[in-house]
A and B are shown apart, each in its own frame.
Chain A
């Protein structure tokens, strides 16, 4: 009985650990996979690590992460240590109360901390803006910046704020263990308070300070949620970068960077634990023992004769740190910069480096989730982008609200290369604000091996025979467009009856269990893996899925007989940008034929550049040594007769938008 219990217990523990560690173990293993798959082992390689270190965006975010963690740790350790000492000068009742207060931020949900800090900063910025405007108005000597935005500084402040409690938590017990008379004794023996602090308090509580600093550093490196809310639009930590990289599919590159992150955090924790164990041992063995080599060295080093060496070293380290900080802030401060916000996996990243090399302008490249997310980010005032790439209908909306800057086309000579078809479109009739980036269609993607017959109508999305296999696009405009088209209405209808009817079609199908779920970027994994049969999605993304489809999956794309939506994403410059010149240079660079060819090849969305459209098949052949399937190219760049069957979104009046929102929310999850 006992025996079996013990075995059962062991199995249970084994399973628990397996469950905890197997996923991480798999992640580590597949980071060394030669192929792209996250399921099939294709041989050992370090390619993904090499790719990782070549990936400028990842390296930049790694740098940001290390810098913010280091700075936050240094500041938080100093502040937390003194705070803990201050706490211990208070009466026990007050101290206990304050320690509870100190615990709360650690227990608090990160998301609450993040959102509240974000709100706090934004509120402060608004107050500051009002003050600065008034101040600059009444005097002309000092010009205060009127517009502050979330960025590295706010994130650093947030990190410091959430690190401090961990330092206090680690230092406090050491202070409690410390004999209070030690400070008196030191002062009695001739120390000022500060000398007593350095000579007695610090050595006594050093273990607590070091472990506090290590924990704070780990927490900072680890943090995603709080950074996400306080970093603003133009700063990304490693965790944030990884998150944006996983939106479409988890590439082995993500495995590699996650592995490195896991190992470094593990190393920190191990370091901390080893230190603690060693201290306990030392405390336990009171008898004098032979000093270790390290201790001998440090003893030698502590002798007065080495004082100058010691000071020199400390000075050198401080200088180095200072230089790094200055270089870093200087580098970002003086160099011209352009802040670009686009969509995930929506550019050939080598173009960014190429642009930087050619112009010396640093590109701060960020991504947003959707037009609506971008819009609310811009509205909240938390973003400081210069160039954005919204879709047609969103451009109309932004123009209506006067948020875009007119472009100086004399400085965008490459605009001449944009095909006539993509100029003066309804969203920008006189073409004063935009330069098209890509265009494409929204069609029906299906897995030929999961459907009886090839669907030709949007109706397939609501058909019971595919119950549980249909993915509903999680975007009210697109989801409704398909339904409206199916019912024979315009995608831009403002007729409430029509819209309600279209929604009823979706809601009804949803009730009957036709939909597997509402998705955006998850559509890739689902369709590629053969986990869903049908989805309305964009042509470019279909092509990108083709590359990754699993065995036994046969993805196809069709423009249904009812017609479809076609769209243009165009580059625009936000009003009052401080980097107007750089923004124009970026736009001109991206509009070039070479950049368009590279992008077409990388993201599989059609280019609006006439030359690029013509040359792409040849470019493809040259690059891959095989002919581009003309059918696929037609899917990517729909021929005029197909485009004629498609309708572009126009901006909807506010009451219709409100109706969309209301109905979409009512549809629920």
Chain B
């Protein structure tokens, strides 16, 4: 029972990281049809800069971590918005070129990060409490899992509120369904592209800082690893669906934990098989709109 609980909560924690990356991917694809391979780079640069600022102020304290998180979100939002504005926008409606540009950006940025921060992981300090465990029904749960879950829930709630309650949220929801009709109503939908990129970048940036807490290090490859699973989550959840991304994040991460524990470390394989199964049975994903 305690093992089960540990696996579930660890899965939820990992799922929280997946969601922070997948939420942006899904919204960006849903609205603009862009598969953003540079999303992992937004996460990595945020993790590095968040760590750089946090350690200079107060390494390993809550204040330092909070500052890292703020810096990470800001960096993620700014880098993502700049990417949209300077690169993606110039290739409007040219989906293959857009994807290629983001692939190039992802490859180049990893090399750049390795050039600046080296190829070895840099181990990070975190507040003492996050390194301890809390006992729930006999299971010793590492405390950082709770932080990850809480942050992902806050981000989910925040994005849902934004989409449901603001003018731009309405434009984005409508744009995901039928972008050309939004234009026909006299709305310049491109303005909301930058906003969606900034929101997705901020979520990924927070994900980057939290990933450095979860893994205990930052490295130039932090984003690439999470991006793969975030793509899988996005496809399983249904491209364009935020709720789908949230549900699929949890499903994928928990499944991965269980397979790793009970099936001899086959978590990644099982996730890929799950992806294939979903694509065969329900190609539009759990909550995606019909193609």
Pair from one complex: no
